[in-house]
Amino acid sequence: MPSDISTTYLGLKLSNPFMAGASPLADHLDTVRKLEDAGCAAIVLHSLFEEQITQATTGRIHQMDPLDQQFAGIVSYFPQSDAYPLSPDAYLEHLHRVKAAVKIPVIGSLNGTAPEDWLKSARLLEAAGADAIELNIYAVITDPNESALNVENNLRQAVADVKAELKIPIAVKLTPFFTAFGHLARELDRAGADGLVLFNRFLQPDIDIRHMAIWPRLELSDSTELLLRLQWLAILHGRLHCSLAATGGVASPTDGIKAILAGAHAVQMVSAILRHGASHFSLMRNELRQWMDAQQFGSLDEVRGRLSLARTADPSAFERAQYVRTLNDWSTLIAYQAYQRTHDDDDPQTPPS
Contact positions toward ligand FMN, by CB under 6 A? 21-24, 46-47, 109, 111, 136, 173, 201, 220-221, 247-250, 269-272
Q: Which of 32, 15, 25 is nearest to 288 (CA)?
A: 15
| Minimum distance from residue 50 beta carbon to ligand FMN (Å) | 12
Q: Which is nearer to ligand FMN, 3 or 109 (CB)?
A: 109
| Minimum distance from residue 315 beta carbon to ligand FMN (Å) | 28
Judge whether 201 and 225 are in contact, CB under 8 Å: yes
Q: Which is nearer to ligand FMN, 7 or 221 (CB)?
A: 221
Cα gap 274→61, rounded to integer Å: 31
Letter for the amino acid at 243?
S
| Minimum distance from residue 219 beta carbon to ligand FMN (Å) | 8
| Minimum distance from residue 231 beta carbon to ligand FMN (Å) | 16
| Minimum distance from residue 329 beta carbon to ligand FMN (Å) | 29
Q: Which is nearer to ligand FMN, 98 or 309 (CB)?
A: 98
Instruction: Please count the other Cβ atoms lying within 10 Å of the Cβ belonging to residue 296.
Output: 8
Q: Which is nearer to ligand FMN, 132 or 250 (CB)?
A: 250
Q: Which is nearer to ligand FMN, 3 or 221 (CB)?
A: 221
Supply φ then ψ for residue 265, to 5 degrees: -85, -30
Supply φ then ψ for residue 26, to 5 degrees: -100, 15
Cα gap 102→39, rounded to integer Å: 12
Q: Which of 135, 244, 136 is nearest to 195 (CA)?
A: 244
Judged by DSSP in three states, 48 sits in strand
Q: Which is nearer to ligand FMN, 3 or 23 (CB)?
A: 23
Judge whether 221 and 271 are in contact, CB under 8 Å: yes
| Minimum distance from residue 148 beta carbon to ligand FMN (Å) | 22
